[in-house]
């Protein structure tokens, strides 16, 4: 996030967040942002280098927090793969809470980033999820679990379905309680198959 703690800097943040959420990256207007703030468009460039810089300032905290969450999960997995259980209800509820703690950033990345350097965010998440799932399967196999052999495409399909379903929470503007119920449905829909594949 920007270091500018002034009242103008705070107002710019509010207005550009509103603009990107309402219009998306491609159709967002620096002129509209400047008008709402009460400064000139040139004045915006004293705070940000341009539209890309503005969007990055709004989503970087979310990306950093997500990277930290993933790193924590991989750390737990590496410590004891046989005890690691990503299928617990409390884990999926924690994921919902994470999304709501970073809701605007998630909404911007999933629904409003087309045309920016972040437009591949969901695909990048799917790729990361695929690698993590394969690593988990390899570790379980090394512990003697009867893990099924899947093709690269099959791993990709499983990860795509999961990531897409998780982010339906922001695509459809679910409330937190609706999101909890949604993830309970996702668990019921996907986890029996996942357990069979992973020999759990």
Residues 102-155 pLDDT 10s: 999 999 999 999 999 999 999 999 999 999 899 889 988 988 889 999 999 999
CA distance 133 to 79: 16
**What's the pLDDT at 5?**
54
**What's the pLDDT at 82?**
66
What tokens does 45 get?
């460039």
Q: What is the DSSP secondary-structure string of 15-70?
A: HHHHHHHHHHHHH--HHHHHHHHTS-HHHHTTT-SSHHHHHHHHHHHHHHHHHHHH
**What's the pLDDT at 3?**
47
CA distance 176 to 123: 24
**What's the pLDDT at 4?**
57
Q: Which residues of the chain have pLDDT under 50?
A: 1-3
């Amino acid at each position: 996030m920007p270091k500018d703690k002034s009242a103008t800097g705070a107002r710019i943040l509010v207005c550009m967040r509103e603009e990107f959420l309402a219009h998306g990256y491609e159709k967002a207007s620096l002129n509209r942002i400047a008008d709402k703030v009460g400064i000139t468009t040139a004045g915006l460039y004293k705070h940000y280098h341009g539209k890309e810089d503005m969007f990055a300032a709004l989503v970087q905290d979310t990306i950093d927090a997500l990277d930290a969450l993933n790193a924590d999960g991989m750390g737990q997995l590496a410590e004891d793969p046989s005890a690691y259980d990503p299928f617990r209800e409390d884990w999926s509820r924690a994921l919902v809470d994470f999304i709501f703690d970073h809701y605007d950033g998630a909404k911007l990345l999933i629904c409003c980033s087309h045309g920016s350097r972040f437009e591949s965010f969901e695909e990048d998440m799917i790729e990361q999820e695929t690698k993590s799932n394969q690593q988990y399967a390899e570790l379980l196999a090394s512990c003697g679990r009867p893990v099924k052999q899947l093709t690269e495409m099959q791993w990709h399909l499983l990860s795509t379905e999961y990531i897409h379903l998780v982010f339906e929470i922001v695509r459809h503007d679910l409330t937190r309680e609706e999101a909890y119920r949604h993830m309970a449905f996702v668990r019921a829909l996907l986890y029996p198959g996942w357990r069979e594949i992973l020999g759990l």
